[in-house]
Homo-oligomer: A and B are copies of this chain.
């Protein structure tokens, strides 16, 4: 983990939040490479689950919601992590910890002086004892999950989009929990981003002989597991864990966690819960609005069941980062490499001039960067010798480097004409090929579109490894 934290800071992936002020507890900022990695994870998730599937739609609900949402959801009463504002000290507490925490009391009997008083004891000046936070319509909570934004919009989506069950609504957004758990990096943070799907199914239907909710629950578990494998997580680092009856959340019929072998040990990467009709029924009860679906075949109104595949963006990022990290020995030297899936890699291509003093080489390299960056995230770097530049790109997981050299542009002084070819180096194999400038775009469209290096490299002239 230390290696990941150190690399993340040094290379612009992840910084401690407000670091110059000593940090903000359990909050992290994503630097120039981290934000690209994070966006790539969100982009492929959205593309795979929302864009490509005909049974899915997206949503983006606001973080601030009506406080009754959290009464209906059960968070205020039942859940372990609601965010409550303390009346006296204005700190936020987990509701279940409120009686264990000393409180800072602004005592009116002493003109508002502040005293820190042990939990459960009254103030000796005014006699007041802290009480749990009362209900108050003006209290705004920071949402502890994005899911409820989907449930309260169920009818709006149904009315505007005319979909038939089953269908799902997916959302990516920030959520907040009062987690103070130092030492686990971005695994558990106070502010985090979720990628959640609420997949609505008709409980009156059966699929392949099973109740629709149970069938779809299985499907989503398989799909989710396959998704993480597709983008690079090792089979041996993933496992499924069923929640025991006594750890199931109050709304769940069954929950399965996908666990990943993080540097801190096996822990939850993602949960896939069968929330039944709990949430829609609760919101119908608290709002007085019918949240049902009309089953045209059976001529009756039904409250859909909900399967919820819920993943954390930050936690997924940590898994992809940890799984990609390798320390290898290459020609007697240590090489640190992030073997990111090309779609996740923050930079797709680095363009490197072999001689930064040759104006024609530098100009060609800049032109290549400008052209390729229309389609991909591409960087130009000339601040070191080529071996070092390669290692720098390996360390941040850039799948391909393009090198421009004297052979490319020729040598006017000597009357030599260049061959118009550049070197492409593959991060994983370190193999190199010579590719004509005009073919660069189509070659990268293949490679970054998923083609195997070997199948592309075979068509071009090989060069020694880089």
Contacts and interface: CB of A to CB of B under 8 A. Distances in A.
Interface of A: 9-12, 15, 17-24, 27-32, 34-36, 38-39, 46, 51-52, 54, 57-66, 68-69, 85, 87, 89-92, 104, 106, 108-109, 112, 126-128, 131, 133, 136, 138-140, 142, 149, 152-153, 155-157, 159-162, 169, 171, 174, 176, 190-191, 283, 286-287, 289, 291, 366, 369-370, 373-374, 376-377, 380, 383
B18 A140 contact: no
Contact of A24 (B18, B62, B376): B62
A280 B340 CA distance: 35
- Number of copies of chain A assembled together: 2
Contacts of A11: 160
A68 to B, nearest CB: 5
Contacts of A23: 66
Given A54-B380, A64-B190, A31 B153 contact: yes
22 contacts: A11-B160, A12-B156, A17-B65, A18-B68, A20-B289, A20-B291, A21-B69, A21-B152, A21-B286, A21-B287, A24-B65, A29-B60, A30-B61, A31-B59, A31-B153, A35-B59, A51-B373, A54-B380, A108-B108, A109-B126, A112-B128, A142-B142
A248 to B, nearest CB: 27
Contacts of A171: 35
A362 to B, nearest CB: 13
Nearest to A169: B32
Nearest to A126: B108
Given A92-B140, A108-B128, A161-B12, A61 B17 contact: yes
Contacts of A9: 156, 160
A152 B369 CA distance: 30
Nearest to A136: B90
A-B complex: 7 closest residue pairs judged by Cβ atoms: A12-B160, A18-B66, A32-B57, A21-B66, A30-B60, A20-B287, A29-B61
B162 A54 contact: no
A84 to B, nearest CB: 10
A193 to B, nearest CB: 9
Contacts of A366: 54
Contacts of A57: 12, 32
Contact of A138 (B46, B89, B191, B283): B89
Contacts of A22: 66
The winner among A35, A52, A106, A162 for most chain B CB atoms within 10 A is A35
A109 B127 CA distance: 9
Contacts of A169: 32
Nearest to A156: B15
Nearest to A17: B62
A376 to B, nearest CB: 8
Contacts of A24: 62, 64-66
Given A54-B373, A160-B11, A28 B62 contact: yes
A383 to B, nearest CB: 6
B91 A138 contact: yes
A4 B276 CA distance: 36
A153 B64 contact: no
B63 A174 contact: yes
Contacts of A32: 57-59, 157, 160-161, 169
A31 B57 CA distance: 9
A56 to B, nearest CB: 9
Given A21-B152, A87-B90, A10 B160 contact: yes
A171 to B, nearest CB: 8
Contacts of A142: 142
Nearest to A284: B20
A145 B411 CA distance: 52
B17 A35 contact: no
A17 B69 CA distance: 11
A363 to B, nearest CB: 13
Contact of A68 (B21, B58, B59, B108): B21
Contacts of A15: 153, 156
B12 A149 contact: no
Given A19-B156, A64-B190, A29 B138 contact: no
